[in-house]
Chains A and B, each alone.
Chain A
Amino acid sequence: MKQTPENNNAAAAQPRTTGRTNRISLIWVVPLTALIISFWLTWQHYASLGTLITIRFVSAEGLETGKTAVRFRNVEVGKVESMHLDDTLLQVLVTVRINKESRHFLNESTRFWIERPRIGPGGVSGLSTLFSGAYIAMSTSADKSLDYQEQFTGLEDPPLTATDEPGLHLLLTSTAGASLTTGAPVLYKQFEVGTIESRRLTDDGRTIAYRIFINQPYDRFISSNTRFWELGAFKMDFGAQGMTVEMESLSVLINGGISFATPKRLKEETPVENDSLFELYPSLSAAHLDLTNTESAFGFILHFDESLRGLGIGSPIEYQGVQVGHVADITIENNAETGKLTTPVLIFLDPDRIGSGLQENKIPALLDKAVAQGLRARLQYSSWLTSQLFIELVMIDDVRHASINPGDPYPVFPTIASPMGEIMNNLSAVFNKVDKLPLEELMTSANVLIRDLDSLVRKPAQGELGEQPQLRREQLQSAPVQSLLSKVNHALDGINPILHSNKTQALPAQLSESIRRLNSTLKSVKQMLDGDKARSPLYYELSTTLKELTRAARSVGRLSETLDEKPNSLIFGND
């Protein structure tokens, strides 16, 4: 191919130069290429080796050197290179090589845990690792501002929410027992919107602190007015409507759960920041929540000067016995101007009830008109026994003019004092007067009087018994007796006006009148009982009732005898 001309011309003369020319063959490109490719591959291998990081775990169960992968969202980002025990023998140091392209995800927020098959109350997870073996899972956030880190401590359990999952972290404190487990759901209108991430006993041992996470779109339902409560699995009620049993979902039954609501309240609503603190109420009733839908309702504020004891959240607002709304909130407010504490009540009127057939936007005008004609709100007892209060809307004809005053955030509805409030006021005035009477002085003087009279009466009696048969004149004239007599006189002087007063004079007449009436009553009773027995309806009814009773008693007796002899007759009959 490239033989030199000399070779051809003098092939026989120079045989040894054939095939061994000093020129370089093109074939050397082959090993050169191989060399270049090898170097390039080696360089690439070392360049893409990635960083070594150390993760501390309590146990390296299921991890294998050179095999166990590190995965982030199931994408392999690294591999376990080696494992050692640390000096204290308490932990395992796992050295992991993280791929170069994933290196910048390592930061303070990065968390590692070993993914193994787990069966928990929240379900089964990591089933795939049953076959593939455990792997180290990673969770991190792409936040560039976080510091780079190469030393990590592995978590024992997988975190319930990814590091960078959008949402809201909140802290709830509960004085009740820790009946909720981590992983239990946070429900909003029975819809799962988050989870309990962790729970711990606070340092002072008084409360349980739960850390919960609310997922992104639902965190807007949380404001400063939100109240959280524990969901009970069972709820039983005995009431006038019979027994009602309510049961939450099975998952709540096992893990417990937390629910929350954000009712409209008098307090201003402010958005909530991460890690805000809330109280966790043990139950819905303890949370004192108004869960009625108030979206379209008309809110008003009422100011009462009376005690609101017996008025609760959810108490009805009635107009002539028809419920038109409910109480949503009661607070204590400090009036900035007067410095007095007031108790504003937030009520909501149901537009369907007040303006039936009317368009909703016409209802305020209707209410304005009604108030101008005398519609007022007042407190009323729903039952005198339990002193439960409700708010009554009532038309008062003769009343001072008032109107609905616009206010922030709700307009103020005019109120009047309740009728029983007046009664109470009058009664207390009477009692005050009674209280002021000098009763004690009166009693002491009466006491003195009686004692003196007593001694006066006893002395002659003693004489009669024989020791001193005769009352001596000297004795009568002695100082004590004199004083006694004067006191008696004095007392009689006091009694006299009472006896001579008109009312006292009238007493005998009234007494005789009463006695006369009593007499006639007794007479008619006697007639009823003694007289024509057959014709008296009362007597007849009584006697029939008695007869029936006797018969009933007799059959009860018979029944008990039968039962005594043959208890199964209740089921199998008396054969």
Chain B
Amino acid sequence: MAGHRQALTAMQAGLASCHVCGKLQYSGADQHCVRCGSRLFQRKPFSVQRSWAFLITALILYVPANLYPIMNTTSLGITDENTIIGGVILLWSVKSYPVAVIIFIASIVIPLLKFLVISLLLFSIWKGHSIKLNQQTRLFRIIEYIGPWSMIDVFVVILLVALIQFGGIATVLPGSAAMAFAGMVIATMLSALSFDTRLLWDSE
């Protein structure tokens, strides 16, 4: 593996780029950026631990996010509590297939995908990689990119809550799962953010 790339890395050259302003400089004993004065690291500190911690938080939050109702719809005194999966099934049963698929993908598939990918990457740092490095990096990019789209469910709830407030006729209130779901999405994003892809290259 090492045979493919013999390029000198910044770390090997004793250089570090500032995380804030991107200035490449020697990481001396000073540990502060010569330009902006912020702290200078070779690698994000505790990157793996942070990533793991946020991933586990997200996993924990994933349980209530799916078990509890995300939205309480009260129309004419009848209160309906909708869980995410319940909503998907309902939409599917009323033949709104596209919407059902979108919600299913955004709310259930994407978070799961993120869990899988991040844990895969973390495992590969820990145990040594089994997939090609640039594929791993591409996976990470995808995850990072689609991550915020999981919030679509939360946005729907927020919009409905804001729009539908007609007292006794129809009221929508966020359910307890909404908070958990939002927390889960944020945790996965933080997990991805904490992940330092350069660690993958280090393990080369």
Chain A residues in the interface with B (C-beta under 8 A)? 1-3, 7-9, 11-12, 15-16, 18-21, 24-25, 27-28, 30-31, 34-35, 38, 41, 67, 128, 131-133
Contact = CB atoms under 8 A, between A and B. Distances in A.
Contact of A12 (B14, B43, B48, B183): B14
A38 B64 contact: yes
Contacts of A16: 202-203
Interface string B1-32: 00000000001111010000000000101010
Contacts of A30: 53-54, 57, 187
A34 B199 contact: no
Interface of B: 11-14, 16, 27, 29, 31, 39, 41-50, 53-54, 56-57, 60-61, 63-64, 76-80, 125, 168, 183, 187, 194, 196, 199, 202-203
Nearest to B169: A131
B12 A12 contact: yes
Nearest to A35: B60
A31 B51 CA distance: 11
B49 A28 contact: yes
A11 B54 contact: no
A131 B79 CA distance: 12
Given A20-B199, A34-B60, A3 B45 contact: yes
A27 B78 contact: no
By Cβ-Cβ distance, the 6 closest A-B pairs, closest first, are A132-B77, A19-B43, A25-B46, A31-B56, A31-B57, A25-B49
Contact of B49 (A9, A27, A34, A132): A27
Nearest to A9: B29
Contacts of A38: 60-61, 63-64
A67 B79 CA distance: 7
Given A30-B57, A31-B60, A18 B49 contact: no
A198 to B, nearest CB: 31
Contacts of A25: 46, 49-50, 53
Could you say which of A12, A16, A18 has the most chain B C-beta atoms within 10 Å of its C-beta? A18
B86 to A, nearest CB: 11
B202 A15 contact: yes
Contact of B11 (A9, A15, A67, A131): A15
A4 to B, nearest CB: 10
Given A38-B60, A38-B64, A15 B45 contact: no
B64 A27 contact: no
Contacts of A18: 11, 41-43, 202
Contacts of B11: 11-12, 15, 18
Contacts of B60: 31, 34-35, 38
A38 B176 CA distance: 12
Contacts of B14: 11-12
Contacts of A41: 64
B39 A11 contact: no
A8 B53 contact: no
22 contacts: A3-B41, A11-B16, A11-B42, A12-B12, A12-B13, A12-B14, A15-B11, A15-B202, A19-B43, A19-B44, A25-B53, A30-B57, A30-B187, A31-B57, A34-B187, A35-B60, A38-B63, A38-B64, A67-B78, A131-B168, A132-B78, A133-B78
A35 B183 CA distance: 13
Contacts of B203: 16
A36 to B, nearest CB: 10
A471 B56 CA distance: 162
A1 B45 CA distance: 7
A2 B45 contact: yes
Given A1-B39, A27-B53, A131-B76, A8 B46 contact: no
